Amino acid sequence: MTSSHAPAAEPSAGPERPLVVVSNRLPFQVEREAGQARLARAPGGLVAALEPVLRRRGGTWVGWTGVPREDGRPSGYALPDTDGVAYRPVPLSASEVAQYYGGFSNRTLWPLFHYFLGRTQIDGGTWAAYERVNERFAELAAAARADGGLVWVHDYQLLRVPHHLRRLAPDARIAFFLHIPFPATEVFRVLPWARPLLRGALACDLVGLHVPAYVGHFLTSAERLLGCEVDRAAGTVRFEGRVVSVQAHPIGIDVALVEALARGAAPGPRQRADDRVAEILGVDRLDYTKGIPERLAAVERLLERHPGYRRRVRFTQLMVPSRERVAEYAELKRQIDEAVGRINGRFSEAGWSPVRYLVRSLPPEELVPLYRGADVALLTPLRDGMNLVAKEYVAAQLENDGVLILSEMAGAADELQEALLVNPFDPDAVADALHRALGMSEDERRARMSALRDRVRSNDVHAWVDRFVAAAERASDRARAAAASPVEAVERRLGPWLAARPTVALLLDYDGTLTPRVASPDDARLSDPARQALEEAARAPNLDIAIVSGRALDDLKERVGIAGFTYVGNHGFEMEGPGLAFRHERTERSLEAMRQAADALEALAVPGARVEPKGVTLSYHLRAVPADARPAAVRQAEAVLRRRRLRVTFGHDVVEGRPALDWHKGRAVLHVLVHRHGADWPARVRALYVGDDVTDEDAFRSLRGIGRSICVASNHVPVATASDLDLPDPDAVLQLVRWLAAGGFAHAAP
């Protein structure tokens, strides 16, 4: 089990390092005055807590200004760099804002993470925009970071930023905090991009979440969706050779500010005179997660079941407008408007209406007096990451005489156990809680509220920032101390799985896997260490090795030339090995089309391009073509091949023509395994495929669930790969081959 809170902050052993904060928005909001735009400081406890830390340490805040611009430059106002804090705007076009923010962030991640699957929109276009914008945030963060400084990324809009930042700055200290719930694995995995989002967060040294339940969900997702090694007691995940800490850090509020405003508005201790109207308060942004219609139903139920409260209570719902131009939000507001009208129509009497409905945004100096004057706060979201309104209400109760009714679906319920906790979907239970709160004795009110206030004060937002930053720096130090090489990380994952069968079928791509990618494919020759490693593997009694390539079979055999291997050439259309000689029976009819296509590609005379006829397939190499000319060359080659009714595939700087048959590396690999080990090979053999190219994805997919695959990707793993694991380069592959040849997995515990 994870602990309920992260360890307390420890004093820093050395000088404080600079800090980079990355959030969707900069701490400014655009205001227009006399036709001119200017930036004003955004309100909020998080801004108030982070900026003093940035000033003290020196640092940078990276984010969007809130103004879409094609060129990213603000107009009519400047970003101030003051007191040692720099502000770096991320340029976002109106289209990007609509897709990345309005689309994937708020129509996909927001509803899914709040368990509203029916409202979740799955759209590959908005995902692509989200990925692109996250990479841009990461580029600015990488440019802003100082050596040894922490980069702190915030919230669901930027889950992929740590991945891109780790690629750009492998030694960076990175932390992430999610301000909304992290859902249960069975909900999260609904998202087609759940795995790349997890990879994004796990590029950090510390992942921070509000409460232990969210930590548990995250750990389970890492374990079940990525196959990571998880230590639940320590709250750690082993990922890509690093140990990532996952901790609960419940966020706080600016208690001092709320108390000061409450003192300015405080009328003194509440009098419970019989003729006094008791005030019930709800404060929410317009959003379907907040449960406002359900709350109004509970108020209506209270008045139905307890007529004595008529003229004695009033429920004030303050609702901050949000996205009212979005159809679903406009419909939600219509439902709320109608519910308020219905309740007031049913129960109003001369001089009294049961519901006061305020649709506006109030500054803190007007909001806190509402908290202070409310006998009961009714805060019943259907799902909420934390709910800071509950903590603000508690902080405003200077005489400890209010009552908090709080949804058990809010993260704050973990901390605020002395509140009356309710299920927001049960209007009868919420009505009962209201009845209890309104009749609660003074002793019970003060006992509950004093306990709540002590807890809220001890974990205000300033303490939260200090604790989180200290925890992130400790996690970063631990991650470096416990770091394993990428090969060691793969070995740890594979060892127990491999040890469960007596034989390992090792299937290796050639170019980019056993040899580095070079300017000319003719130069891709095995190094002496690579040949030595393969020869050692050939002598291992429990290894059955196949080399799988897009190269022609004879070319592949000549380049490797090790007896006892199975050679799979031309993407599987040709195979040869112990007891195996195969050529796809339907390739002959494509040979003339291949010859015609080769001649037509030569006739294009693209500078730097090279045509490689390989018998039953054809490659058009573009590595030596200038980068700005490659897109046009790809389009021309594709047209040539399609006119000959050939199947067109694309690899690393190569366009390939193949027979128009449903045959590829994936089907070829299964053919080899069945031929070598029988149709029931999974009962006796572990199949491990290692490749780097787009064409290897076919093999990754074919082995999914019955074997394992490794993507060899310099710098980072492609987002869409179907592989199970990854290695950075051919040198790492050779280390893995040596480990397999030495039988390093043979005694691993299954």
Q: Are 374 and 393 in contact (CB under 8 A)?
A: yes
- As a whole number of angstroms, the distance between CA 303 and CA 736 comes to 71
In the chain, the largest separation of any two C-alpha atoms, in whole Å, equals 99
Catalytic residue among 155, 205, 375, 509: 509
Phi, psi angles (nearest 5°) of residue 212 = -55, -35
Rounded to 10 degrees, the C-alpha dihedral 128/129/134/137 comes to 150
- At position 426, the amino acid (one-letter code) is D
What is d(CA 707, CA 730) in angstroms, rounded to the nearest whole number? 21
Q: Enter the DSSP assignment of 74.
A: -
Distance, in Å, from the CA atom of 167 to the CA atom of 170, rounded to the nearest integer, reads: 6
**Cα–Cα distances in Å, from 301 out to 277, 402, 429, 482?**
18, 22, 10, 57
Angle between helices 161-168 and 124-144 (to 10 degrees): 50
Containing H/E element for 489? Answer: helix 486-499
Joined tokens for residue 104: 């994937």
Distance of alpha carbon 100 from alpha carbon 102, whole angstroms: 6
Decide if 580 contacts 712 (C-beta within 8 A). Answer: no
Q: Sheet containing 59-64: which strands, arranged edge to edge? A: 85-89, 59-64, 19-25, 150-154, 173-177, 206-209, 242-248, 236-239, 229-231
HEC sequence for 576-626: EECCEEEECCCCHHHHHHHHHHHHHHHHHCCCCCEEEECCCCEEEECCCCC
* SS3 of residue 351 by DSSP: coil
* 162 in Cβ contact with 176 (< 8 Å): yes
Query: Which 3 state secondary structure label does DSSP give 206?
Result: strand
Contact in structure between 60 and 20 (CB atoms under 8 Å): yes
DSSP, res 169: -
538 and 564 Cβ atoms separated by less than 8 Å: yes
Contact between 220 and 226 (Cβ < 8 Å)? no
Q: What residues contact 683, with CB distance under 8 A and at least 6 apart?
A: none
Tokens matching residue 464: 């939260």
* Distance separating alpha carbons of residues 156 and 197, to the nearest angstrom: 10
R_g of the chain computed on alpha carbons: 31
How many residues appear in the chain? 750
- Cα distances (Å, whole numbers) of residue 421 to 377, 414, 469: 12, 10, 31
C-alpha span between 46 and 51 (Å, rounded): 9
**Can 155 be counted among the known catalytic residues?**
no
> Which residues are known catalytic residues?
509
